[in-house]
Structure 1
Amino acid sequence: MSRRALTLLVASFLVLSLGIVGALMKVPYVVLSPGPTENTLGLVEKKPVITITGRQTYPTNGALSLVTVAYQGGPSSRIDLLTALRGWVDPDVAVVPEETIFPDTRSQKEVEEENTVEMTNSQDFATAAALTELKIPYRTAVSVVSTDAGRPAHGKLLKGDEVTAVDGRPADDVESIAAAVKAVRPGTSLTFTVTRGKEQLKVAVPTVAGADGKSVVGMAMQASYKFPFEVDINVGDVGGPSAGLIFSLGILDKLTPGELTGGKKIAGTGTIDPSGAVGPIGGIAQKMVGARQAGATVFLTPADNCAEAVKSAPKGLRLVKAETLHDTVVALDALRTGKGGVPSCSG
């Protein structure tokens, strides 16, 4: 065998060996890529994404699309080295350390469950923000989630009790109830007015000193919203809070005459709170790629993500800065009518 043939044989063997090793070697990285987009004005699995019952709705047009990030990898299904290498050379995806998505303190299942809870909360926040923008009143309810064994509330306040007042003062949110408890000296008894089933009860609960020396009763609470009509959001297998802004806009569009989009294909992202404030999200680069691939020409971008978004925005995608729901509605009106300025991520 000639030296050249031997060299080729050895090189081929080394390449094959490296390929086998790369295919078998698992690495603690996660590949992030553009995920599916869903038009909140359209259908998912033949069902409307947003269904409103008990209130007049109006026809819509165009698209207000939520965007997602798909991932490969995780502690229970690690990717191989070759998959990671392909990701590193693909400009449309990102390869990040596993702990970025799945912290050591939580399992993959716990992270996925948390994403599901965040998606549910984002839908409530989106509805609340839309109704706040439209000046439609709604009520906040605070319910007992659990009580701590050995603490005064245990056995007195029950899971599901709706707390409506503390010592006669209306309980509007979790923070006001917690503040009312901390405001008294440890040992003071407080009267909680609760709705339990169809009954309204007054329950006396003594306080004790917590770890910081301030009063506690030993209960966990959760806020929920009582809306004057039903808003149902169907997005299939999507988690996380980042679709809040788009949900709010979709609800607004259905509840108001005219077309918020002006017939354009608009996509966007951003968390939202009940006041309408828009917050930042992760995976902005992959979400913009997914939006453009779906035909969007306008991308609503949280203000805190603008600097990053400008660096990697796909050609043909106009970035509109979103700070609040109200400002975003004004910007969409300006885009549709051509009147007024449109806030841009580029200044």
Structure 2
Amino acid sequence: MKTSKKIILIASIVLVTVAIWAAVLIPLPYYIESPGGASDVRQVLQVNNQEDKEDGSYNFVYVQVRQATALQLLAASLDKHSDIYSEEDMTGGSSNEDYFRISQFYMETSQNLAKYQALTLAGKEVKMEFFGVYVLSLAKDSTFKGILNIADTVTSINGETFQSSADLIDYVSKLKVGSDVTVGYESMGQKLSADGQIIKLDNGKNGIGIGLVDHTQVKTDIPIDFQTANIGGPSAGLMFTLSIYTQLADPTLRSGRDIAGTGTIEQDGSVGDIGGIDKKVISASQAGATVFFAPNNPVDKEVLKHNPKALSNYDEALKTVKEEGLDIEVVPVKNVKEAIAYLEKTKEK
């Protein structure tokens, strides 16, 4: 009897130990997104082969994403500024390799748009060449699934070429569902074409069912060099633009301040929304920034249909600052000119 109890006790200890080990060490098919950090743009950007030695800093902010263990999932569920995503939601079904490539395409586009917008605002000569759109994903019901692949570049639709992805999207959205469509594209250096049909997309619009981002190149005589090999995504666009513009047009614009912000940059200078802004404003404040630029666009009507309480990026950042008692000023911006105007108005004379 004593031997039996001893065996049960040992087995129980072993099972508990294994369970604890599994909870702490074994990754699950879930990811946690939480506040990450902020980095001085000068660490990844050089303009005109010159070092930016002015006081203060521009900082791009980022979130931390990690594959979760059971214990980490429990902790994240108790933290209102940590979000949990399934592997499918996080990667869109892409492999880790493809997911990284997609992030790099977003970063490449962000850098090119930042260069173009900053050079234009600084009155410098610059040209943007549009080659088409990178394929980032394909809808399950796309008739081009199995034909187009991630990293292919769509160059034409029905023989029509475009000057931006917005023009391409506008064109296909006007085609009828089920109508035939011919897509011209480049894959592995080859120029190809394929036939398919227009489908109804999840957002209610018509299209060919691809996730996309611009494939562009900026032509300028001014060297602008990025070193962002391990950084992906488009959300640093605004801060890249401000950094380039400042060095070319107004070196004292920062006026000694540590400034952070987030938002994509578009060819017309508008600042686009991003995800995880609550985490990013926390990251900015923890890094010592005193100013935080936040996109200030109306919440999309489709989003409001599913979530009537959804907030704009600016409102969510402001709410986070108030709830957490952060010592940082949140500045709303719809375009890069508004950010520049704020910095000019508030800098020390």
Hey, what does 2:231 align to over in structure 1?
A: 238
| Residues 137-216 of structure 1: pairs in structure 2 closer than 5 A | 137-143=125-131, 173=163, 211=197
From the superposition, tell whether residues 296 and 236 of structure 1 become closer, same or farther in structure 2 (CA, over 3 Å): farther
1:317 equivalent among 325, 328, 335: 328
One-letter code aligned to 1:133: L
Correspondence for 2:141? none
3-state SS in 1 of match to 2:114: helix
1:101 CA displacement: 1.6
Contact (CA 8 Å) 2:162, 2:168: kept in 1 or not?
A: no
Post-superposition shift, 1:109? 1.9
1:267 to 2:275 alignment: no
Instruction: Please report how far the alpha carbon of residue 117 of structure 1 lies from its aligned counterpart in structure 2 after TM superposition.
Output: 1.2
Structure 2 Cα separation of the partners of residues 111 and 209 of structure 1: 27
After TM superposition, list the pairs within 5 Å mapping 1:248-259 onto structure 2: 248-259=241-252
Say which SS state the counterpart of residue 230 (structure 2) adopts: coil
The question of whether the paired residues in 2 share the 8 Å contact of 1:141 and 1:172 is answered with no
Task: Give the Cα separation in 1 of the matches to 2:276 and 2:317.
Answer: 10
**In structure 1, C-alpha distance between the alignment counterparts of 2:284 and 2:241, rounded to whole Å:** 18
How many residues are treated as equivalent by the alignment?
266
Q: TM (normalized to structure 1)? A: 0.65
- Which residue matches 1:297? 290
Q: What does 1:58-137 correspond to in 2, within 5 Å?
A: 59-73=53-67, 79-104=68-93, 106-137=94-125
Deviation track 1:152-198 (CA, whole Å, cap 9, x = no partner) reads: xxxxxxx99x99xx99xxx882579979x99xxxxxxxxxxxxxxxx
Secondary structure, counterpart of 1:61 in structure 2: coil
Deviation at 1:127, TM superposition (A): 0.7
Structure index of larger Rg = 1
Aligned partners of 1:306 and 1:144: how far apart in 2?
A: 32
Residues of 1 paired with 2:86 and 2:220: CA distance?
Answer: 41
Please give the alpha-carbon distance, in whole angstroms, between the structure 2 residues aligned to 1:319 and 1:145.
34
* Partner in structure 2 of residue 53 of structure 1: 48
The one-letter code sitting in structure 2 at the alignment partner of 1:139 is K
Deviation at 1:87, TM superposition (A): 2.2
C-alpha separation between the residues in 2 aligned to 1:247 and 1:20? 43
Q: Aligned partners of 1:68, 1:176: CA distance in 2, in Å?
A: 27
For the Cα contact (< 8 Å) 2:235–2:263, is it kept in 1? yes
Structure 1 residues 174, 288: CA separation in 2 closer, same or farther (over 3 Å shift)?
Answer: closer
> SS of the residue aligned with 2:111?
helix
User: 1:312: how far off?
Assistant: 1.6
Q: Is the 8 A contact 2:132 2:165 kept in 1?
A: no
The TM-score normalised by the length of structure 2 is: 0.65
Deviates more, 1:304-313 or 1:323-332: 304-313
Equivalent pairs: percent with the same residue? 28
* 1:267 to partner: Cα distance: 0.6
- Displacement of 1:241 in angstroms is 0.4
Task: Tell me if the contact between 2:132 and 2:216 (Cα under 8 Å) persists in the aligned partners.
Answer: no
Offset of 1:222 from its aligned partner? Answer: 4.0
**Does the 8 A contact of 1:69 with 1:283 survive in 2?**
yes
C-alpha distance in structure 1 between counterparts of 2:113 and 2:33, whole Å: 27
Alignment of 1:267-286 (within 5 A): 267-286=260-279
RMSD value over aligned CA atoms?
Answer: 3.9
Distance 2:166 2:16 in 1: 66
1:260/1:94 CA distance change after superposition, 3 Å: same
Q: Distance in 2 between matches of 1:126 and 1:116?
A: 15
Counterpart amino acid of 2:45?
A: I
What residue identity is the alignment partner of 2:339? T
Counterpart residue number, 2:306: none
Partners of 1:33 and 1:71 within 8 A in 2: yes
Provide the rounded CA distance (Å) in 2 between the counterparts of 1:210 and 1:272: 32
Match of 2:34 in 1: 33
> Are residues 98 and 308 of structure 1, via their aligned partners in 2, closer, same or farther at CA, if it must alter by over 3 Å?
farther
- Provide the rounded CA distance (Å) in 1 between the counterparts of 2:319 and 2:168: 43
The letter for the 2-side match of 1:38 is: S
Distance 1:145 1:316 in 2: 41
Segments of structure 2 that go 5 or more residues without pairing to the other structure are: 1-8, 135-151, 173-192, 199-213, 297-311
* Structure-2 change in CA distance of 1:136 and 1:175 (3 Å): same
Deviation at 1:25, TM superposition (A): 5.8
**Cα deviations across residues 254-313 of structure 1 (Å, max 9, x unaligned)?**
112341121111111100012211001112122122211211111111114112212222
How far 1:145 moved relative to its partner? 9.0
Distance 1:172 1:22, change over 3 A: closer
What letter corresponds to residue 284 of structure 1 in structure 2? Answer: I
Q: 3-state DSSP class of the match of 2:59?
A: strand
